[in-house]
Structure 1
């Protein structure tokens, strides 16, 4: 088993910034998705920052990035910064997701105005 979500993602998908480590484990995407599904928000955010430090980079599949942001927002629903980061990622990979991204932006604006 991998020690971190980052290690698992790096072994499965590779890393644009670091070499893929030698690993003798069996890599199946559904094992990673299970680990991602039950990971805490900070572990997911750390993985996104490490493997995709800019919005338009990294080797994580778009659907994994979208799922990761969704899981983080479920755990931290009232953080405008995270909403905007998720929206930015969705806009980049739209236009199918533009309505959701716009809604995230509006919700973030409402939360900011309430402070």
Structure 2
């Protein structure tokens, strides 16, 4: 198995910024999705940062990117910056998810407003 989620994604989908490493391991997509499903928030975030640093770029399929953000938000539901990043990704990759992106942005706004009211 690949040593990191990022390495596994890089072998399977390639990387716009780094060469795809030579690898003799199994690259069946379901194995990557299994690994992504049970990855921790830090590992998922590291993969997204490495392979899609500008949100609009990278070779990850849109459905993998959406799944990664969904899994990340399930683990860290109260991070406004992360909610906004996920919303931005949804807006950039089709109008089908605009309502979800708007909800994520509204949730980020609400969290930030609550935090600013509670700060001294």
Specify the TM-score bucket, using the shorter chain as the normaliser: over 0.9
User: Per the alignment, in what secondary structure is the counterpart of residue 96 of structure 2?
Assistant: coil
Instruction: Say which one has the larger Rg.
Output: 2
1:31-89 residue CA offsets vs partner (Å, 9 max, x unmatched): 00000000000000000000000011000000000000000000001111100000000
TM-score (norm 1): 0.99
Query: Which stretches of structure 1, 4 residues or more, deviate above 4 A after TM superposition?
Result: none
**Structure 2: which 5+ residue stretches go unaligned?**
116-120
Give, in whole Å, the separation in 2 of the partners of 1:104 and 1:81. Answer: 10
Equivalent position of 2:96 in the other structure: 96
- Cα shift at 1:94: 1.7
Give, in whole Å, the separation in 1 of the partners of 2:50 and 2:33. Answer: 18
CA RMSD of aligned residues (A): 0.4
- Cα shift at 1:26: 1.3
**Structure 1: which 5+ residue stretches go unaligned?**
none
Equivalent position of 2:48 in the other structure: 48
Equivalent position of 1:110 in the other structure: 110
Equivalent position of 1:61 in the other structure: 61
Equivalent position of 2:29 in the other structure: 29
